Amino acid sequence: MTDHINPISSLKEGHWFKLICGASFQHLPAVSSLTLAYTLAGADCIDVAADPAVIAAAQSALQVAKDLAGDAEKRGFGKKAKSPLLMVSLNDGEDPHFRKAEFNSAVCPTDCDRPCEKICPVQAIVFNGIKNDFSGVVSQKCYGCGRCLPACPYGIIYTRSYVSTPGAIAPLVMSSGVDAVEIHTKVGRLTEFKRLWQAISPWVDRLKVVSISCPDGDNLTDYLHALYDLMTPINSALIWQTDGRPMSGDIGDGTTHAAVKLAQKVLAAKLPGYVQLAGGTNSYTVAKLKAMELLRKGRLLGDSLETPRRQGEKFPPSPPPPLLPSSISGIAYGSYARVLLSPILEQLETKEVNKANVKPTVRLEEDEVLLWQAVELAYSLVSQLKSQQER
């Protein structure tokens, strides 16, 4: 049985599990259900959109999880844990995580097979939905994966992006219960990052974790070092999130390769902080990391980190910089984690519709059978990583 512990300890010991609800995912019932299920399964961090309503939904689910922690323990999902950290995602420029698909359904040809509807992983595209006569993209559900764009045979689907406004960020960072922030950036956006960092820096010391998410690019190592120099000194735990192949973990096992490859590149950069995978992570990721001996296997930070003494060297090598990661400290799961629970989420939505009558939102905790089915599904993913601490 997995022993859930303090989230920061999980990060230090190499079995940090983060759930990514989606930086632009604002479907409140799903955010609440995902947060509840993965919290009871032992997640260390819940990452949500920087939206007050979304934050409130996650906070409410975290409180419900506290009340159900004893039941989860009795059912074998682990010992009572401290509540996971609540993280909000911000961006310093255009980013695929911060966009929504849109199209005018009135111009769709009536004989179209609607491949966009079939390919959407969260059923955000509907035509004459059962709750109303709406057709198009349900904005709250869309998280910007972009799979519908090439699927549309007429090319009428487009995306609308948005960027975090520095002046609006401080209240979100200061929201009660927000423990961490994640900043999405790209190589070459140092000026934009600095502007965003200056907006939140007065409150950074109140945060337990600051995460930097950056895809690969030319001169990546130099860029990340520049970011670190800009942020220091920093008292919060610092995570480098390697966004290998964004929002693709549910497509197939092969998507995890990009995340692992990028993680190796960041590890080689010897940046102070912790390295955590994202982008293409799925049920294959832990097995891949084990095979490559990239998981820390429960070692405390600093154990066995010194390089071997070279032949003829008279003095031991200098100790590594503080928080120098020797291996992967954790994994974040987004699209795969959400799709894994999609059968449960769909059943909850079905319960809301009774023929022509629409019922109020059915909360996951109100259906005991579906609740523990959801936790069991979530635990099947969380336990893959958490089992590392028992080694």
Note the pLDDT of residue 132: 60
* CATH number of this structure's domain 7-91+165-303+322-339+371-390: 3.20.20.70
Note the pLDDT of residue 351: 77
Note the pLDDT of residue 181: 93
pLDDT bucket at 266, cuts 50 / 70 / 90: very high
At 10-61, the pLDDT tens digits run 999 999 999 999 877 888 999 999 999 999 999 999 999 888 888 999 999 9
Q: Which residues is 158 bridged to in the sheet?
A: 102
For 201-218, what is the HEC assignment? HHHHHHCCEEEEEECCCC
At 77-100, the pLDDT tens digits run 866 557 899 999 998 887 566 677
pLDDT bucket at 312, cuts 50 / 70 / 90: very low
Residue 234: DSSP 8-state: -
CATH topology of domain 99-161: Alpha-Beta Plaits (3.30.70)
CA dist., res. 287 & res. 148, Å (int): 30
> At a CB cut-off of 8 Å and minimum separation 6, what does 44 contact?
7, 10, 11, 16, 17, 18, 84, 85, 330
CA dist., res. 349 & res. 341, Å (int): 13
At 144-162, the pLDDT tens digits run 787 888 889 988 887 787 6
At 233-245, the pLDDT tens digits run 999 999 999 988 8
Residue 21 and residue 31 in contact, taking contact as beta carbons nearer than 8 Å: yes
Q: Token pair of 139, please? A: 């904005």
> At a CB cut-off of 8 Å and minimum separation 6, what does 68 contact?
36, 40, 365, 371
> At a CB cut-off of 8 Å and minimum separation 6, what does 272 contact?
228, 238, 321, 322, 323, 324
At 95-135, the pLDDT tens digits run 566 677 888 888 898 889 999 988 888 788 888 755 566 78
Task: Please name which of 307, 334, 309, 338 lies closest in space to residue 320, comparing C-alpha atoms.
Answer: 307
At 188-222, the pLDDT tens digits run 999 999 999 998 888 888 899 999 999 999 999 99
Q: What's the average model confidence in pLDDT over 240-255?
A: 80
For 331-371, what is the HEC assignment? EEECHHHHHHCHHHHHHHHHHCEECCEECCCCCHHHCHHHH
Q: pTM of the prediction?
A: 0.85
pLDDT bucket at 389, cuts 50 / 70 / 90: low
Domain boundaries, the chain: 7-91+165-303+322-339+371-390, 99-161
> Which amino acid makes up residue 185?
T
pLDDT bucket at 380, cuts 50 / 70 / 90: very high
Residue 171: DSSP 8-state: H
CA dist., res. 268 & res. 236, Å (int): 22
At 278-303, the pLDDT tens digits run 999 999 999 999 999 998 764 443 33
Note the pLDDT of residue 272: 94
CA dist., res. 218 & res. 347, Å (int): 45
Note the pLDDT of residue 255: 87
